[in-house]
Amino acid sequence: MIQLLHRFLEHRSIFIPILIVIIVGVFGGFMAAAVLSVLILLFSKKNRLEFLFTLAIFTFFLADNYRGIFSFMQNFRFVLLGISIIYLLKYKLIQNNNANYLILFTIIAFGITLLFSPLGFAAVIRSVAFWVVGLVLFKLANLLYLSNIKRASELFVLILVLYFSVNLILVFLPILEVYLMGRFKGLAGNPNGLALITMFSYALLHLIDERKDTTFKKSFFLAFKMGLFFMVFLSGSRTALFSMIAFECIVRLINNKPLLLISLGSFAFLYVLVNSIGTDSLIEYLGFSDYLRVESLSSASGRTDVWPVAWEEIKNAPWFGRGILYDDYFMKDYVARYVGENAARQWGGVWSSYLSLLLDVGVIGCLAYAYFWIQVFRKSHYKNTAIAFIILCFLSGITESWMAASMNAFTPLMFLFWAIQSQPATNK
């Protein structure tokens, strides 16, 4: 605890201005926050890159709040992205940037959206956002790690400590609206959003711990990761919980073939046992029926009602899709036509990254997106953790559409993981 306080004091020239920017945004709106951010970048004599990096992370963390005191972040994230691009041009933003592996996907998405999208200019602009967000975050991470590896890693850990500490305080002192239908959402816009932020943070903490870049002890990382499991449990997200468990199992077992085989055999036995007893009965017996929401487990909280509808639409344009943001447009149009204004919650989205991507950019676009994943994996230095991370992402993508958007909190964290993975290994 004392070590953490010392680290925060060392970084006070970063966190205090960001706190002021957020307060100004709460009371003055996104333009006031943007003006103040520009003034800080212009007149600050040091830590400008760290300020911009930290502000970007907190902005994406808070930007899924569509109402409440942080709703200004919805617009502020776009302005901050523009500010970041302009500021980073002097650092040769595009040169030697792993986000360039997204250029093929961006060209395809841009062309499809321009030709086929019913949403016009807004969707066309969003089609290049993957590349632009990637450019900014990969460049910021690279510059910070080139400057000081230890300081860069510790800064990111402190960002996570601050964010989740505030969330933990809100568990016991809910001065804001932090619950949604009995599930904890904290500073995020919804419980699933908080859970996915927590899930990605878990993987990033594991990577930083594995690199041994910081002065934080292993016991600190262990306690922090246990706290993240607690946060996911409060959110009630089954997707994030199962994905984190899968990640942890893979990084622990991937180098131990006998134990891996024993574990796979145990999972197979449990699968047969659960099917013979009945999933609902077993979960109820173990006391997890409320958390796992047994009544909606088999239908994935209604997602299985939505997926066949999305699949039928995919068949109309399987190769190229209809352009970025079409998945959201299609669902709104379908609900208006066939479901009605009193539609259940599951009709608010497609709820699958793979179906959303197929609706937006088709098979061709998905292949181009896969090219990015292959290339950043090849550049990673900690392959076992990279494999576990890919599985974590792909598992979470089954029931969440985060991969089909770039301006959420999750895709930027995915970019950061690969940015840190590409830095020279420090413990090998």
What is the rounded CA–CA span in Å between residue 393 and residue 229?
17
> Alpha helix (H) ranges present in 65-148?
73-88, 103-116, 121-127, 129-147
- For residue 2, the SS3 value is helix
Domain ranges of the chain: 1-91, 98-421
Q: Which residues of 331-342 are buried (b: 16+ CB within 10 A; e: fewer)?
A: beebbeeeeeee
What is the rounded CA–CA span in Å between residue 8 and residue 11?
5
Q: Which of 314, 325, 343, 338 is nearest to 408 (CA)?
A: 325
DSSP 424: P
What is the rounded CA–CA span in Å between residue 35 and residue 20?
12
Report pLDDT for 296.
46
Q: What is the pLDDT of residues 329-349, one digit of tens each?
A: 999 999 999 987 777 777 888
What is the rounded CA–CA span in Å between residue 335 and residue 343?
7
Is residue 4 exposed (0-12), middle (13-18) or buried (19+ Cβ within 10 Å)?
A: middle
CB 54 within 8 A of CB 15: yes
- For residue 343, the SS3 value is coil
Q: Which residues of the chain, if any, have pLDDT below 50?
A: 274-280, 282-283, 285, 291, 294-300
DSSP 23: H
Global pTM value:
0.92
What is the rounded CA–CA span in Å between residue 36 and residue 55?
12
What is the rounded CA–CA span in Å between residue 258 and residue 255?
9
Report pLDDT for 280.
47
Amino acid identity, position 297: L
